[in-house]
Chain A
Amino acid sequence: MDFDLSPEYTALRKMIRSVCEEEIAPVAHKIDETGIVERDLLRKLGELGILGVPFPREYGGMGAGEIGYCIMMEEMNRASASVATIVGAHIGIGVMSMYLDGSKALKAKYMPDLCSGKKVCAFALTEPNAGSDAAGIQLRATLEGDSYMLDGQKMWITNGPIADVINVLAITDPALGARGGATVFAVESKWEGYSTGKPERKMGLHGSPTSLLNFDNVRVPKENVIGQIGLGFVTFMKTLDIGRVSLGAATLGGAQASLDASVRWARTRSQYGKQIAHNQTIQFMLADMATEIESLRALVYRTAWLVDSGKPFIKEAGMCKLLGSEIASRCVDRAVQIHGALGLSRDFPMERGFRDARISEIFEGTNEIQRIVIASELMQEVGVRLRP
């Protein structure tokens, strides 16, 4: 029984950490202030395989699996949550939905450009009336000859304003609704009828562009169907499940960054004639952070291993997201408190971390939904079916 990550993952982490520290961290503050992540940065990441970490090399990916992907998300979120969100949505749910159920031809057509960063991907599920209740979607896809006409709106789509390829769930059979009558389509942003709204103004993740997507009778060739017609909901739920593992890894990175900064500050700052590290209150906060982070690390990488080993992981994935987002929130809150007034200042990264972390408990399935999912898995084992 070996709990160590194999040496290739340590080497991979080292490379990604260097890239994040040298290319991303120095511009993280500017990204938060201006709300712009340079496309050039994404291209640079793509050249190193970072925009396709879990995908096989034959499709232009890095071939590092879920473990490698988690390592990357952890390191990148430490540097900038905005960039990590763009990359995470692009890989973890965007390209992933195509990778899981797309045809070989479709994958060969789009994945190389997506993995190299030449194109950006988005995952479009949420609508104004369908948030946690994803089954309430209404975007319609009507068959017309050899193509489908997509009409409707998607809301709160991460990467919406910058995506070139959008994997969207639409209702193909209204009688069956989302469960059984929905299909996933790969839509290109340059097609007629597709437009995006203004980027949303958010409390945090300023560099991660989010917007409304408008589908005004967009013609989508039937070759661009991902998976099977009518089974799109299954594809998307599968995608969200696996996406949660790497989201857990991202929150791990944020929590770790909070701890590292707090330890350094505890050494630097003195009051009452001694470094604040000598106060038990501070010590206990640091200890709690470290303990929580260690537990999250174990959960995340074990779950990643489950994924890479082809074992069931749905319950654990939900736990990664649930535990990770709550631990990250607690850690970044402690970090703000330890830094005192400086933790409130926009000149320092703790404040940005605090604002950025908040959405983790909400997107990709609110923590309330995660708890329902986990409870469902538990009750299913004793024969009780739960509904939200």
Chain B
Amino acid sequence: MDFTLTEEQTMFRDLFRDFAEKEIAKVAEHTDRSEEPPTELFKKAAAQGFFGAPIPENYGGVGIDWLPYTMLAEELGKHCLSTAITVAIHTSLSAMSILDVGTEEQKQKYLPPMASGEMIGAFALTEPDAGSDASSLFTIAEKVDGGYRLNGTKSWVSNGGIAGVFVVFAATDSSARNKGITAFIVDAGTDGVTVGYREKTMGLRGLDIRTVYFDECFVPESNRLSGENQGWEIITRASDRIRLTLAAISLGAAEASLALGVTFAAERKQFGTQIANKQAIQNYVAEVAVDVEALRGLIRNAAWLADTKQDYGRAASIAKFFGARVAQNAANKMLQVHGGYGFSDEYAISRYYRDVRALRILGGTDEMQRFIVARGNFEEKGIKIQP
């Protein structure tokens, strides 16, 4: 079992790291303060292929595997979580769903502009009454001549305000719950689509999260994604992808927090010496460093399973669950190392603290991940647990 990165993987990692350090780091603070998605940065990143990294070359992407893709997510997460999650939602949820089950026409139409970053993708699943329980959707897709008519409200749609395309989930058969959900590709600006209120959040302030209204929105048959009532499968596979991606982003955030804390402790002097010489500080640093390495192992393992076309859902869930908590703990402990400065907006650590809190909730809460993992354990015993 060889853990060394191949030459190609090393090259990708260095490319991502280089770009992130040069371009993302310098706009991260402004993005947070202004609460504006850094569109100029997105253009630069897209030019490097960051918005279509795993999309195959014949659709305009770079065609990288999961392992390098997690390294991209990690490097983005190190510097700006808003950017990282924008890319993650766009790629792992939106674009790759179309890649996964789209018709050739759909792939030809949507993937190239998405890979080039011209068209940002969003994923409209959550509703005000459908959060963790995504099986009962209240957005209805009524079959009409030539297509479907969508009516309903989607909330917490990341990238909602900057998206060119939405992958939307609606109920074609409400009584069948999750077996009656269908996916649709809806262009922004389609008649009947209104992008509404932008959520004001604790962190991820550069992420454009919206409520999106569908009012008698007509979607042609050709824009249905996969078969009727086949939506749940798409959701499951997309969830696996976003979980692994978020785990990698968490790793980046944790590493960044750790680096900030170590730097501060090495410089700050109290009681006649650098606080790095105090055991309490050393303990915080050590515990976070251990978590970071453990998380890295989980991500590598899950990425390897994905790259070898094995079932990686459980591994992704484990990595996401662990990663979100590691990221929060890292930011928290390293903020403590900063003392009073940790509470100041002038130091980056408080931004990480605010940004990472969402990781335990978005993309499937901690509680949801626990359920998925335990379900796997009990399935072996023939017991099917219910949420």
Contacts and interface: CB of A to CB of B under 8 A. Distances in A.
Given A340-B361, A344-B357, A344-B358, A201 B344 contact: yes
Contacts of B386: 272
A202 B341 CA distance: 9
Interface string B76-109: 0000000000000000000000000000000000
A177 B360 CA distance: 48
B353 A279 contact: no
Interface stretch (A16-24, A105-113, A248-256, A357-365): A357-365
Interface in A73-117: none
B48 interface: no
A385 to B, nearest CB: 15
B361 A344 contact: yes
B339 A343 contact: no
A132 B335 CA distance: 15
Contacts of A205: 343
A202 B343 contact: yes
Given A337-B361, A343-B361, A361 B271 contact: no
A1 interface: no
A140 B350 CA distance: 33
A204 interface: yes
A195 interface: no
Nearest to A329: B332
Contact of B336 (A281, A344, A366, A388): A366
A119 B14 CA distance: 59
Contacts of A192: none
A370 to B, nearest CB: 11
B353 A132 contact: no
A318 to B, nearest CB: 15
Contact of B350 (A203, A273, A341, A354): A203
- Which of A129, A203, A271, A363 neighbours the largest number of chain B CB atoms within 10 Å of its CB? A203
B367 A281 contact: yes
Given A200-B344, A272-B133, A351-B202, A281 B370 contact: yes
Given A131-B270, A346-B201, A366-B336, A202 B357 contact: no
B189 to A, nearest CB: 26
Contacts of A346: 200-202
Contacts of B361: 336-337, 340-341, 343-344
Contacts of B269: 129
Nearest to B155: A341
B56 interface: no
A131 B340 contact: yes
A133 interface: yes
A355 B362 contact: no
A358 B353 contact: yes
Contacts of B370: 281
Residue picked from A340, A344, A347, most chain B C-beta under 10 Å:
A344
A345 interface: yes
Contact of A132 (B339, B342, B346): B339
A148 interface: no
B200 A345 contact: yes
Nearest to A201: B345
A357 to B, nearest CB: 11
Interface in B165-207: 199-203
Contacts of A201: 344-346
B365 A337 contact: yes
A159 interface: no
B383 interface: no
Contacts of A359: 340, 343
B288 to A, nearest CB: 16
A345 B272 CA distance: 43
B345 A131 contact: no
Tier of interface size on chain A: 35 or more
A156 interface: yes
A258 to B, nearest CB: 14
B353 A203 contact: yes
Given A201-B346, A368-B280, A126 B201 contact: no
A202 B344 contact: yes
A347 B155 CA distance: 14
B335 to A, nearest CB: 7
B132 interface: yes
A202 B360 CA distance: 24
Nearest to B272: A133
B278 to A, nearest CB: 8
A78 B195 CA distance: 36
Contacts of B353: 203, 358
B343 A345 contact: no
Interface in A265-279: 270-273, 279
A136 interface: yes
Contacts of B346: 200-201
B366 interface: yes
Nearest to A134: B270
A282 to B, nearest CB: 8
B296 to A, nearest CB: 25
B201 to A, nearest CB: 5
B201 A156 contact: no
Contact of A366 (B202, B339, B350): B339
A59 B334 CA distance: 44
Interface in A343-388: 343-347, 351, 354-355, 358-359, 361-363, 366-368, 371, 388
Interface of B: 126, 129-133, 136, 156, 199-203, 269-272, 278, 280, 335-336, 339-340, 342-346, 350, 353-354, 357-358, 360-362, 365-367, 370, 386-387
Closest 5 CB pairs of A and B: A201-B345, A346-B200, A133-B270, A271-B133, A203-B350
Given A131-B339, A345-B201, A363-B340, 9 more contacts: A272-B386, A281-B367, A337-B361, A341-B361, A343-B361, A344-B361, A347-B199, A359-B343, A366-B336
Interface of A: 126, 129, 131-133, 136, 156, 200-205, 270-273, 279, 281, 336-337, 340-341, 343-347, 351, 354-355, 358-359, 361-363, 366-368, 371, 388
28 contacts: A131-B339, A132-B271, A133-B270, A133-B272, A200-B345, A203-B344, A204-B343, A270-B129, A271-B130, A271-B131, A271-B132, A281-B370, A336-B357, A336-B361, A340-B131, A341-B126, A341-B156, A341-B361, A345-B202, A346-B200, A346-B201, A347-B199, A351-B202, A355-B354, A358-B335, A362-B340, A368-B280, A368-B336
